Chain A
Amino acid sequence: MPNRAPWLLAVSLLSVTAMLTLWSVATNRGWVAPIFFPSPQAVWKEAVVILGNGQLFTDVWMSSRRVFAGFFLAGVVAVPLGIVMGVWAPAKAVMDPFVSLLRPLPSITWIPLTMLWLGIGEEQKIAIVFMGSWIYILLYTVESTKRVDPLLIRAARNLGAGDIAVMREVVLPGALPGIIAGLKVTLAISWSCVLSAEMIAAQNGLGALIWQAKDFGNLALVLVGMVCISLTVLVTDLLANRLEILLLPWERHRRP
């Protein structure tokens, strides 16, 4: 992303301030009933409370742990499998029908089965994240492996590379940018998986926070939870971008 001009930044800040002011005026003047939409002050009060008693940290931490466990497992399974499918057509032929069947299923459809198999503990949440994530990582990996320029493979063989060297020196680094792009997209999907799993059955986590707040009719707390989800996913995304820069030094010319 090119550096934005300072005045554009000012415009963004202005629009946020305007939005907050409108929200504040509309709720405090009674234009919108508090049971439909709480005021920013009420939201802030709730935020201070759960920040103070440590509940927010616990929830963010628990959700993050589940996301990363499920996401990590999905990556460990799907990246190697995807590479094999990308370079070896029979493996793709074996997996394709299952991939086509599993792909349209939203991760929440796995909740009944995973609850039956794993109960309602951590394993079940991690399984939901896993089921919702691995297919996407797999598809991205297969595609990026297949898209590695065949000319580069030829060039490598012409320079004396055997099968293993072609894999290590050409296919893997060639597919890496696509795989990392896929992992980044999937990470956001993993987050939505954990939230739905936590809304159905969990004692803690950001999804549970929202759902319990809803049961108590505490809309301000629901909003706190939503903002926290946004911020947490944004922070994860920033971290993922830093990691991408470290892993793909040869794409540095594309960055500002």
Chain B
Amino acid sequence: MTAIADLSFAITEGEFVCILGASGCGKSTLLNMFAGFTQPTSGTVNLRGIPIIAIEPRCGMVFQSYALFPWKTVRHNVEFGLKMQGLGRGDRAAWAKKFIDMVKLGGFENHYPAELSGGMQQRVTLARILAADPEVLLMDEPFAALDAMTRQVMQEELLRIQAESRKTVLFITHSIDEALILSSRIIVLSARPGRVKAVIDNNLPTPRHVDIQLSPKYAALKTRIWDLVADEIRQHEG
């Protein structure tokens, strides 16, 4: 079964790209190829011009279901990537602390993931991947499992963190609002097999807060994207 076809786009360093599409359009497949978890049956995925052919630690993945190690405390989860990079115990602790503070989890260092709320677990995942310092952040609907309020807080956090770290982010979502709040560019995918339906520059002013949703410009962009998506859903069902 072909999940995605004829798909081609390039992402520049420091960009925040949202990939938007209905469920089943191959968004996750796409992200898994960026991480090197799966290989495309044809074509290539390149990082700085070199094809990704194995699991690629330079593309750090933030999973929707957190994927924290249940047997490690918050601190040891965040330190994991650093440990793999061969950093000594002292350096690891200091470096990890920086990111635990960044996601505002100071005081929870010695908790196990199961003892935290969903939003806190997602922040640990974020700290873990940021501490490992990958070049690209791949985020697979990371906030989908969170309640609406926590999601908003997390979106603002992510914007702040991205502004600080200048990381390239590839963010998958099926929420138009989420894409508009977060991204600098939105790639709309068509239904299965996923193709690039449209690439939309999101020139809403930064830094953004949730209240941007009230601006007329936001409404205009949202209508435009909604038309694209709705068109796709109608075609697919008709």
Q: Which residues of A contact B (CB under 8 A)?
A: 149, 151-152, 154-162, 165, 169-170, 173-174, 176, 248-254
Query: Bound state CA distance, A157 and B59, in angstroms?
Result: 11
Could you say which of B35, B61, B71, B84 contacts A173, with CB atoms under 8 Å apart?
Answer: B71
Query: Bound state CA distance, A158 and B56, in angstroms?
Result: 6
Knowing A165-B84, A253-B115 touch, does A158 contact B71 (C-beta < 8 A)?
no
Please tell me if B67 contacts chain A, counting CB pairs below 8 Å. yes
Chain A residues with Cβ under 8 A from B80's Cβ? 156, 159, 161, 169
Contact with A along B27-51 (1 / 0, CB 8 A): 0000000010100000000000000
Are B132 and A151 in contact (CB-based, < 8 A)?
Answer: no
Are B65 and A151 in contact (CB-based, < 8 A)?
Answer: yes
Are B114 and A160 in contact (CB-based, < 8 A)?
Answer: no
Cross-chain pair count, CB within 8 angstroms: 67
List 17 contacting pairs A-B, 8 Å CB cutoff, sorted by A.
Answer: A154-B61, A155-B67, A155-B69, A158-B55, A158-B57, A158-B59, A159-B84, A160-B84, A169-B69, A250-B70, A250-B72, A250-B73, A250-B114, A251-B114, A252-B112, A253-B115, A254-B114
Query: Bound state CA distance, A64 and B2, in angstroms?
Result: 61
Which residues of B in the span 132-190 have a Cβ within 8 Å of any Cβ on A? Answer: 132
Could you say which of A152, A161, A165, A253 contacts B67, with CB atoms under 8 Å apart?
Answer: A152
Are A159 and B37 in contact (CB-based, < 8 A)?
Answer: no
Q: How far is the CB of B37 from chain A (nearest CB, A)?
A: 6
Please tell me if B60 contacts chain A, counting CB pairs below 8 Å. yes
Please tell me if B21 contacts chain A, counting CB pairs below 8 Å. no
Are B132 and A250 in contact (CB-based, < 8 A)?
Answer: no
Could you say which of A149, A154, A159, A162 contacts B128, with CB atoms under 8 Å apart?
Answer: A159
Are B57 and A155 in contact (CB-based, < 8 A)?
Answer: no
Are B63 and A155 in contact (CB-based, < 8 A)?
Answer: yes
Q: Which residues of B contact A (CB under 8 A)?
A: 35, 37, 55-57, 59-61, 63, 65, 67, 69-73, 80-81, 83-85, 112, 114-115, 128-129, 132
Q: A156-B84, A174-B71 are known contacts; what are 16 more A-B pairs with Cβ within 8 Å?
A: A155-B63, A157-B55, A158-B35, A158-B37, A158-B59, A159-B81, A159-B129, A159-B132, A160-B85, A160-B132, A165-B84, A170-B69, A173-B69, A176-B71, A252-B112, A253-B114
Chain A residues with Cβ under 8 A from B59's Cβ? 158
Could you say which of A154, A158, A165, A250 contacts B112, with CB atoms under 8 Å apart?
Answer: A250
Could you say which of B57, B63, B69 contacts A160, with CB atoms under 8 Å apart?
Answer: B57
Are A151 and B112 in contact (CB-based, < 8 A)?
Answer: no
Q: How far is the CB of B12 from chain A (nearest CB, A)?
A: 23
Knowing A160-B85, A250-B112, A253-B114 touch, does A154 contact B55 (C-beta < 8 A)?
yes
Closest to A155 in B: B67
Could you say which of A156, A160, A250 contacts B71, with CB atoms under 8 Å apart?
Answer: A250
Query: Bound state CA distance, A9 and B43, in angstroms?
Result: 69
Chain B residues with Cβ under 8 A from A170's Cβ? 69
Closest to B35 in A: A158
Query: Bound state CA distance, A252 and B83, in angstroms?
Result: 25
Chain B residues with Cβ under 8 A from A151's Cβ? 63, 65, 67
Closest to B113 in A: A250
Query: Bound state CA distance, A180 and B65, in angstroms?
Result: 26
Max chain A CB contacts within 10 Å: which of B35, B56, B70? B70
- Which 10 A/B pairs are nearest by Cβ-Cβ distance? A160-B84, A155-B67, A159-B81, A173-B71, A160-B57, A250-B112, A157-B55, A250-B71, A158-B61, A253-B114
Closest to B57 in A: A160
Chain B residues with Cβ under 8 A from A248's Cβ? 71
Q: How far is the CB of A198 from chain B (nearest CB, A)?
A: 39
Are B65 and A159 in contact (CB-based, < 8 A)?
Answer: no
Closest to B59 in A: A158
Query: Bound state CA distance, A152 and B67, in angstroms?
Result: 6
Chain A residues with Cβ under 8 A from B128's Cβ? 159
Q: How far is the CB of B120 from chain A (nearest CB, A)?
A: 14
Query: Bound state CA distance, A236 and B61, in angstroms?
Result: 45
Query: Bound state CA distance, A156 and B83, in angstroms?
Result: 11
